[in-house]
A and B are shown apart, each in its own frame.
Chain A
């Protein structure tokens, strides 16, 4: 957290130095600041921040791709006259434990293709999702556990 704060501060200083608090300038300041922190790594010691930053970027990219793809698939199903979907409700065992983890997993599942979180079981161990293509529930489970949940938990823990 301290590192993130330093990075933001550096971005602000950059903007002040260049005299323009515009978005591109701030973004540039942030990147330059990260580079500066990276350079200072030996001085500041090891921190999860160094790895989290690129991981966050890659996760966001992955996620955005998933959202777009999912939207396109649903959209396709919407415009084509026949329903291709074979919907069903699938139970997913949860690795996520904290409130934030569970919530994020559930929400991201909702935003990704073909799946929609309906509820978390009271014991928090199972997530019930509605899937558009549920002929093979196990495949869905695997896909989520290997893909989204793993990536997210890596990022959070």
Chain B
């Protein structure tokens, strides 16, 4: 039986963790962070959710199956290497687009960012699949 206090705190903490994980993912190219830590932090959030509530609701939060999330991530990471090939360069060559928004510094979006997103998803999905499977284990 879980704790009311934990559940309530979790409701407020999980969004924080997810937000933090997205920050880590996006800031990772320039500041400490990146897909790994980001994905792991998101996974930690969902894990907290699974601990405080139950696995079923945590699964619902994730929507896709954990395996699906990680497969998607891996595919994304691999696909992010293809634009390089299509543009006549090597596999995994970074290709960048610069978006100019008035009032902001130019935003650079490149395949390495997609790659990092793939990493994020894989880490999230895998960690979740392991934790969910273990938590659902009956003895």
Contacts and interface: CB of A to CB of B under 8 A. Distances in A.
A124 interface: yes
Dominant SS at the A interface? helix
Contacts of B8: 99-100, 102-103
Interface in B1-20: 1, 3-5, 7-9
A119 interface: yes
Interface residues of B, number: 7
A106 interface: yes
Contacts of A102: 4-5, 8
A117 B5 contact: yes
A119 B9 CA distance: 14
Interface residues of A, number: 11
Interface in A106-157: 106-107, 117, 119-120, 122, 124
Nearest to B4: A120
Interface of B: 1, 3-5, 7-9
Interface of A: 99-100, 102-103, 106-107, 117, 119-120, 122, 124
